[in-house]
Amino acid sequence: MLSREQFMKDTQKQRLMDGIEALYPADADCPRTAFIGQIMLHNALENTVYNWRDLPAPVLARYLAICEDYELQLSRNPEEAESFLPDYLNRNGNL
């Protein structure tokens, strides 16, 4: 059985998650909402929890792959540099 303290923590966490889910979840189906949510999540993490340099090697490897993919796409379409979103963000091909 949950202690009162654990119940309160779980309830608070659920309220926070519900609020985020209603606004800008980073995994939203809508690419624009997901993109905004990912930026906001990154800002929240960067300013409270972590330095990206401290992330585990598998996460850094994925980060590097995303960066390299983005650069490759930009090199193919430099005129679209301002509006280009990497495939992992632009799931439906548009905002």
Alpha helices in the chain (DSSP H): 4-23, 31-48, 57-76
Q: Nearest 5°: CA angle at 79, between 75 and 85? A: 70
Predicted pLDDT at 95: 42
Contacts 24+ apart (CB under 8 A), 36-39: 38/89
Predicted pLDDT at 87: 54
Predicted pLDDT at 76: 85
* pLDDT tens per residue across all 95 residues of the chain: 778 888 788 889 899 999 999 999 999 999 889 888 988 888 888 767 677 788 789 888 988 887 888 788 788 877 776 566 655 555 544 44
